Amino acid sequence: MRIKSKSDFPDSSDGSVHEELSDETLVAQVARGDSSALEALYNRYSSTVLGISVRISGDQLIAEEVLQETFWRVWRHAVTYQPQLGSFTAWLFRIARNLVVDLHRKQNSRLQTIRYDGRDALDIDQTPDPNADVPEQVQSSFKQQKVRMALATLPEEQRQVIEMAYFFGMTRQEIAEATGEALGTIHTRARLGLQKLRRELEKQDFEE
C-alpha cells in the first residue's frame, strides 16, 4: 500500500494535510483552537479508542459515549498535555480507559471477571473507514500485531492479571479475590508480566 506524501496534498482545505503532521504538532494546534487538527486526531485514533472502550465495557452505547467524551476532553484540555511526560497516544488512551472503567464501574457495582476470548461480542463494522488516516491505520495495524504477539508470549496467569487490571479496572485485591490467589502472588504476576511484556515489545521495536 502506498502511503501518502506531502506532495499528495495540494490543498489543505479538506484537512488531509494534517495526515503527515505528528500527534504532538496536531495536539498543539488543537490547544490553539484548531478543530480541523482535532478532526485529524479523531480520524487517526477513533477506531482504536472505540476498540478499547468496546473491549472494556462490552457495551456499544457506553463505548460510543466514551469515544465522544474522550475527544471532547482532548479538545478542552489539549493545553494541559505535556509531551515530556509521555506520548500523545498514552495520554489519549489513558483518558479513554479511565472514562470507560469509571462508567463501567458505576453501572456494575461489582465488576465481572469476564475473560476475553478473542472474539468480538458485538456486531462490529469492519469495513474500511473512508475518513481514516490511512498511514496511521497501517501503523496501528503493525502495532496491534506486535502487541498481540508480545502478549502471547506471557504465561497465561501473568497475562490474566494484567488484563484484569487494565481492561476491567480491577484492583489487586479484587483480582486476588476473583482468582482465589494470594495477594503476594498477584503482585508477582503483575510485576513479572509487565517486565516480560516490555522486553518482548522492545524485541519487536514497538514504539508508542
Smallest distance, other proteins to C-beta of residue 57, A: 11
Give backbone dihedrals phi and psi of 22, rounded to 5 degrees, phi first: -70, 160
CA nearest neighbour of 135 among 38, 20, 28, 9: 20
Binding other proteins by CB under 8 A: which of 5, 12, 22, 107? 107
Q: Which residue matches cell numbers 484548531?
A: 34
Q: What residues numbered 125-154 form the site for other proteins, per CB under 8 A?
A: 125-129, 131-132, 140, 143-144, 146-148, 150-151
Smallest distance, other proteins to C-beta of residue 23, A: 13
Tell whether residue 105 is a contact of other proteins (CB under 8 A): no
Phi-psi region of 180 (alpha: psi -120 to 50; beta: other; left: phi over 0): left
17 vs 190, beta carbon nearer other proteins: 190
Tell whether residue 178 is a contact of other proteins (CB under 8 A): no
Binding other proteins by CB under 8 A: which of 52, 99, 103, 176? 52
25 vs 137, beta carbon nearer other proteins: 137
Tell whether residue 28 is a contact of other proteins (CB under 8 A): no
* Total residues in contact with other proteins, by rule CB under 8 A: 72
Tell whether residue 167 is a contact of other proteins (CB under 8 A): yes
22 vs 144, beta carbon nearer other proteins: 144
Binding other proteins by CB under 8 A: which of 27, 38, 62, 103? 38
